[in-house]
Amino acid sequence: MMSSASTCHIPLVDLSLQHAEIAAEVAEGIERVISTGAFVLGPDVTEFEREFAEYCGVAHCVGVANGTDAIELALRAIGVGPSDEVIIPANTFAATAGGVVRAGATPALVDCDPRYLLIDAQQIEARITSKTKAIIPVHMYGQLAPMPELLEIAQRYGLRVVEDGAQSQGADRDGRRSGAWGDLAATSFYPGKNLGAYGDGGAVLTDDSRLAGAVQRLRNHGGTAKYQHDQVGFNSRLDTMQAAFLRAKLRRLDKWNDLRREAAERYDDLLAGIPGVTRPAVSAGNLHVWHLYVVRVPRRDEVLARLNDGDVSAGIHYPVPIHLLGAYVHLGSGPGTFPNAERLAGEILSLPIYPGITPVQQERVVEHLAEALR
Ligand X SMILES: Cc1ncc(COP(=O)(O)O)c(C=O)c1O
What is the footprint of ligand X within residues 1-40 (CB under 6 A)?
A: none
Element (H, E) at 256: helix 253-271
Rounded CA gap, 36 and 135, in Å? 42
User: Any alpha helices (H) in 169-252, and if so which ranges?
Assistant: 209-219, 240-250
How many CB atoms within 10 Å of residue 291? 29
**What are the backbone angles phi and psi of residue 136, rounded to the nearest 5°?**
-115, 100
Task: Report the residue from 93, 181, 328, 354 that binds ligand X according to the rule CB under 6 A.
Answer: 93
**Segment near ligand X (CB under 6 A); pick from 28-36, 162-170, 303-311, 347-355:** 162-170
Kindly state whether residue 318 participates in binding ligand X, applying the rule CB under 6 A: no
Nearest alpha carbon to residue 143 among 290, 27, 6: 290
158: left (phi over 0), alpha (psi -120 to 50) or beta: left
Q: Which is nearer to ligand X, 92 or 340 (CB)?
A: 92
- Residue with the shortest CB distance to ligand X: 67
Binds ligand X by CB under 6 A, chosen from 18, 91, 92, 240: 92
| Alpha-carbon gap, residue 204 to 209, rounded angstroms | 12
Tell whether residue 67 is a contact of ligand X (CB under 6 A).
Answer: yes
Q: Which is nearer to ligand X, 49 or 200 (CB)?
A: 200
- Tell me which residue of 202, 161, 252, 242 sits closest to 61, measured CA to CA: 202
Rounded Cα distance, 169 and 355, in Å: 14
Please choose, out of 26-34, 93-101, 125-133, 224-232, the segment that lies near ligand X by the rule CB under 6 A: 93-101
CB closer to ligand X, 170 vs 202: 202
Q: Which is nearer to ligand X, 96 or 216 (CB)?
A: 96
d(C-alpha 177, C-alpha 182), whole Å: 11
Give least dist CB 170 to ligand X, A.
Answer: 15
Measured CA to CA in angstroms, residue 47 lies from 65, 236, 244, 247, 356 at distances of 16, 18, 9, 8, 28
Of 18, 68, 236, 362, the one binding ligand X (CB under 6 A) is: 68
**Short-list 50, 289, 257, CA closest to 165:** 289
Site for ligand X in 163-222 (CB under 6 A): 164, 166-167, 188, 190, 200, 202
Instruction: Output 134 or 277, the one with its CB closest to ligand X.
Output: 134
Residue number, 61 or 271, with CB nearest to ligand X: 61
Q: Is 66 in the site for ligand X (CB under 6 A)?
A: yes
Smallest separation, CB 44 to ligand X (Å): 19
Listed ranges 66-74, 246-254, 292-300, 331-339: which one lies at the site for ligand X (CB under 6 A): 66-74
Residues that bind ligand X (CB under 6 A): 66-68, 92-93, 95-96, 138, 164, 166-167, 188, 190, 200, 202
